[in-house]
Amino acid sequence: MSHKEEYIMDNAEVELARLRSAPVTPKVRMQIPPQDMPAQDPSERRHNMDEVALGYTPAQAMLEAERCLQCKNAPCIAGCPVRIDIPGFIGKVKGGDFLGAGKIIKKTNLLPSICGRVCPQETQCQAPCTVGKALHSVGKAVQIGRLERFVADYERTHGAVEVPNVASPTGRKVAIVGAGPAGLTCAADVRREGHDVTIFEAFHKSGGVMVYGIPEFRLPKVLVQSEAEVLESMGVDFELNFLVGRTRPLLSLLREDGYDAVFIGTGAGLPKFMDIPGENLVGVFSANEYLTRANLLKAYMKGKAGTPIYPSHRVAVLGGGNVAMDSARMALRLGAEEVRVLYRRTREEMPARAEEVEHAIEEGIIFDFLKSPTRVLGDDKGRVAALEVLSYELGEPDDSGRRRPVPIRGSEEIMPFDTVIVAIGNESNPLISQTTPQLQVDRHGHIIVDERQKTSVERVYAGGDIVLGSATVILAMGEGRQAAQAINEILQ
Residue 235 lies near other proteins (rule: CB under 8 A): no
Binding segment for other proteins (CB under 8 A), chosen from 85-93, 340-348, 430-438, 450-458, is 430-438
Residue 246 lies near other proteins (rule: CB under 8 A): yes
Cα gap 120→472, rounded to integer Å? 8
Residue 240 lies near other proteins (rule: CB under 8 A): yes
- Of positions 79, 81, 283, 320, contacts other proteins by CB under 8 A: 283
Three-state helix/strand/coil letters over the chain: CCHHHHHHHHHHHHHHHHHCCCCCCHHHHHHCCCCCCCECCHHHHCCCCCCCECCCCHHHHHHHHHCCCCCCCCHHHHCCCCCCCHHHHHHHHHCCCHHHHHHHHHHHCCCHHHHHHHCCHHHCCCCCCHHHHHCCCHHHCCCHHHHHHHHHHHHHHCCCCCCCCCCCCCCCEEEEECCCHHHHHHHHHHHHCCCEEEEECCCCCCCCHHHHCCCCCCCCHHHHHHHHHHHHHCCCEEECCCCECCCECHHHHHHCCCCCEEEECCCEEEECCCCCCCCCCECEEEHHHHHHHHCCCCCCCCCCCCCCCCCCCEEEEECCCHHHHHHHHHHHHCCCCEEEEEECCCHHHCCCCHHHHHHHHHHCCEEEECEEEEEEEECCCCEEEEEEEEEEEEEEECCCCCEEEEECCCCCEEEECCEEEECCCEEECCHHHHHCCCCCECCCCCECCCCCCECCCCCEEECCHHHHCCCCHHHHHHHHHHHHHHHHHHCC
Closest approach, Cβ 293 to other proteins, in A, equals 7
Residue 343 lies near other proteins (rule: CB under 8 A): no
- Of positions 78, 393, 430, 489, contacts other proteins by CB under 8 A: 430
Residue 232 lies near other proteins (rule: CB under 8 A): yes
Residue 13 lies near other proteins (rule: CB under 8 A): no
- Of positions 137, 307, 411, 440, contacts other proteins by CB under 8 A: 307
Cβ count within 10 A of residue 367: 18
Strands 196-200 and 338-343: unpaired
Residue 273 lies near other proteins (rule: CB under 8 A): yes
Q: Which is nearer to other proteins, 43 or 241 (CB)?
A: 241
Residue 251 lies near other proteins (rule: CB under 8 A): no
Closest approach, Cβ 175 to other proteins, in A, equals 14
- Of positions 98, 217, 263, 310, contacts other proteins by CB under 8 A: 310
Residue 458 lies near other proteins (rule: CB under 8 A): no
Residue 335 lies near other proteins (rule: CB under 8 A): no
- Of positions 239, 338, 349, 368, contacts other proteins by CB under 8 A: 239
- Of positions 382, 395, 397, 416, contacts other proteins by CB under 8 A: 382
- Within positions 189 to 218, which residues make up the interface with other proteins, using CB under 8 A? 201-206, 212
Closest approach, Cβ 429 to other proteins, in A, equals 5
Binding segment for other proteins (CB under 8 A), chosen from 305-313, 363-371, 389-397, 410-418, is 305-313
Residue 381 lies near other proteins (rule: CB under 8 A): yes
Closest approach, Cβ 165 to other proteins, in A, equals 22
Residue 221 lies near other proteins (rule: CB under 8 A): no
- Of positions 241, 411, 438, 440, contacts other proteins by CB under 8 A: 241
Closest approach, Cβ 467 to other proteins, in A, equals 17
Closest approach, Cβ 187 to other proteins, in A, equals 13
Residue 288 lies near other proteins (rule: CB under 8 A): yes
Residues binding other proteins (CB under 8 A): 201-206, 212, 232, 238-243, 246-249, 268-271, 273, 279-283, 285-286, 288-289, 292-293, 297-298, 301, 303-308, 310-311, 381-382, 426, 429-431, 434
